[in-house]
Amino acid sequence: MPNADRLSPLLSRLNENQLALGAAIMELSNWVEQQGSLEVAENLRSTLDTLGRNEEFIKLTLAVLMTPD
């Protein structure tokens, strides 16, 4: 398999990892907030903004790579 053929599956798995990390961060932020640490919960949620901003670019890139020539 040429290296170019490995790029799309790699990016797909990286995107899956990013989504899983986002879900985990959200769960942690909810728990931290319930424990009374509002500032820490807010900091955790701010990391989700970065994940969200990058998600659309990743999705578009995957769509382009998976489109047959």
Q: Domains of the chain: which residue ranges?
A: 24-62
Instruction: Please tell me the predicted confidence (pLDDT) of residue 3.
Output: 67
Q: How confident is the model at residue 21 (pLDDT cuts 50, 70, 90)?
A: very high
pLDDT value at 12 more than 80: yes
Structure pTM? 0.72
Distance, CA of 42 to CA of 33 (rounded, Å)? 8
Instruction: Please tell me the predicted confidence (pLDDT) of residue 24.
Output: 95
**Sign, CA torsion 16/7/62/9:** negative
Supply 20's token pair: 């899983």
Instruction: Please tell me the predicted confidence (pLDDT) of residue 69.
Output: 66
pLDDT value at 2 more than 60: no
Residue-wise pLDDT tens digits, 44-57 = 999 888 888 888 88
